[in-house]
Each structure stands twice: as structure tokens, then as C-alpha cells.
Amino acid sequence: MALPPNKQRSRRLRKKLRVGEFQEFGFEYELKVKRELSEDEQTALMDRMVDELLVPRNLAAAGWVREGFVTGYLRGSATEDDRQAAQDWLSAQPEVAEATVSELKDAWYVED
């Protein structure tokens, strides 16, 4: 979804639209695995990601093993520190050959 046209909005509307001071940021991840993983291995990797990376940092993710998007849980943003921690954690997993984490980007609107 593209960002709504820039115009004056009330604080309540800015919050509802998640723009201005309420803008939320996240980042994409992409993984290349060393070998094809079984369903159980994929689930185990994602369970570890949730337990060791996402929950301790109050983050949420959409996606699965190969790619996904991470942002703050409920409302809020991922930080640069969260982005770097994700890069480090993903790269350290034995199943992962290569992990790429994007720069922080708007979690709700695609930039044109």
C-alpha cells in the first residue's frame, strides 16, 4: 500500500494511519540454507528464532525460513540494534549458509 497523500492530519488519524510520529519500522530477512530442510527442521529453526531472537526483543515476524519481515510486536518499531542482532543470530545458525537483512523500512507503506 502506498503512503497516503501528505496533508495535515489530527494526532488521532496519524496514529491510526501509522504516519508521522507513529510511523513504524521493520526489516526484511532472506536466508539461503546449506541444504534442503525437512518440515521438522524448518519448524525447529523458526521456533528457535521466536524463542531466542523475537520474544526477548519484543519483535514479531511474518514469513518463514527463506524470507520474512520483522517489526515490533503489536505497536512499535524494530531498531537498528534489533536489525543487527537478527543479522548476527541468523548468520550463526548451523542450517544457514547466508543471511541477508535489509535496512530499516516503513512497516506499513511501500515507498514509491
Pick the CATH number of 23-106 from 3.30.70.260, 3.30.70.860, 3.40.50.300, 3.50.50.60: 3.30.70.860
Give, in order, the Cα–Cα distances in Å from 51 to each of 17, 46, 72, 98: 30, 9, 15, 21
Helices (H), 1-112: 11-17, 39-49, 80-92
Q: Which residues pair with 28 in a beta bridge?
A: 69
CA gap 79, 84 in Å, rounded: 9
**Domain range summary for the chain, segments of one domain joined by +:** 23-106
The set of cell numbers assigned to 10 is 489530527
pTM of the complete model: 0.86
Q: In this predicted model, what pLDDT tens digit does every residue of 50-104 receive, in sequence order? A: 999 999 999 999 999 999 999 999 888 999 999 999 999 999 999 999 999 999 9
